[in-house]
Every structure is written in C-alpha cells, then in structure tokens.
Amino acid sequence: MKTVVIIDYGMSNLRSVSKALEHIAEKNWQVVVSADINVISQADKVVFPGQGAIGNCMRLLNQTELFEAIQLALNSRPFLGICLGLQTLLTQSEESGGTTGFGWINGNVRHFDQVLLDSKTNKQPKIPHMGWNQVQHTQIDHPLWKNIDNNERFYFVHSYFVEPIDATIIAGTTCYGDIQFTSAVAKDNVFAVQFHPEKSQNAGLVLLRNFLNW
C-alpha cells in the first residue's frame, strides 16, 4: 500500500483536497491527512495545500516540526504544492508586511494591486483573482500535464502571485488583466500550482491522478 499525505498545519480546508484524491486514487493508494512528522516522512508522496495569509502559515509551521518535515519532503519525494503551498516555496512574500518563505525557489510573491491593469477597459480587474482561467503550458512535456489540454481552465482564488527568477522552472502561465503570471512551477520532484485542482472539475482530477502516477 502506497501513501499520499496531505499536510495539515491547521489553516487549510483539507476536506476537498482529500476527497478529490480519494476519488481518483486506485486501491493501492492510501490518502492520509496528517500533521505527524513521522507519517509525513514515511509517505510516498506529499501534498501541501494552503489558504489564508502566508504570515500566519509560516508562523504556524515554524512553531512546529512541520517546517523541517516540509523541507525534507521537498528534497526527497514527489511533492505537490497548491495555492499558498506554491507561494511559501519562494524566497520572500510581500504579504503580512514581508514574509520569508522556504526559499526552495528563488523569487518573490507580489500583490496584484501593484501591477494589475486592463488596458482594454483602463480599469483594474477585481482582486482577488477569483474564478476560472486558462493555464498555458510552458513545460509542455511535463508528466503532470498529461491528458490536459494546453489553455485548459482551472479554478483560482488569490490576491498574490509568484515571480520566480529562474524562468526555466515555470511550467504554466495565466493572463489576468495585462499581466501574465506564473501559475505553475516544476523543478525536480516538485510541482506546484496557484490554482486549485481539487476545485477544477475534470482537469483538476486528471492533474491529481497524474501526480499519483508520477
């Protein structure tokens, strides 16, 4: 029996993620939600979802051994970051007065308010960016994009976006207003997305299945 662990750090809505994984997992997979570092360290694959403010998230992680457990997982097994689980991987975020992330990806997390404009209407699109939007594949042969059309639509809810310094790790981009932001990254054993695959109907389920098969 193989195990995929969804990290529970006390802030995220984990039920939808676990239900989506349970729906697509074959019988040889066990889906576990856990904050136990021993369970996480023994898992075959790790999912790190997140929502809310990054400052509170990193504070909770640093107060427990979960910070080290996530660092270990990032360097040792297939790892899927979702929404805030992507943003925490970068060096620094503008949110919460400036927050230091894991630094696994060199770059920053920025607020849409500083850059967002739609030149067609000369107005700022709504923040947060909420709803369905297209994702353009930039690593077109990545296994997690298997059977997912380029420019497929996924569900987003976020006010901040990531800016990796190394463009080669960008796996997907999305347009909102006049900007094209990074909506997926892939590096070694890690794949992380700004959108919510667990809320993205069939395309999201295909991505989660691809992760289990990766």
CATH of the domain at 62: 3.40.50.880
Count structural domains, the chain. Answer: 1
pLDDT in tens, 10-47: 877 789 999 999 999 999 999 999 999 999 999 999 99
Residue 161 CA to residue 4 CA, distance in Å, equals 27
Sign of CA dihedral 200, 109, 18, 209: positive
Q: Residue 64: which domain range?
A: 2-213
Residue 118's pLDDT band, with cuts at 50, 70 and 90, is: low
Higher pLDDT, 87 or 60: 87
Q: List, by residue number, the catalytic residues.
A: 83, 196, 198
- pTM (predicted TM-score): 0.95
Of the candidates 90, 96, 42, the one whose C-alpha atom is nearest the C-alpha of residue 69 is 42
Mean pLDDT of 139-157: 98
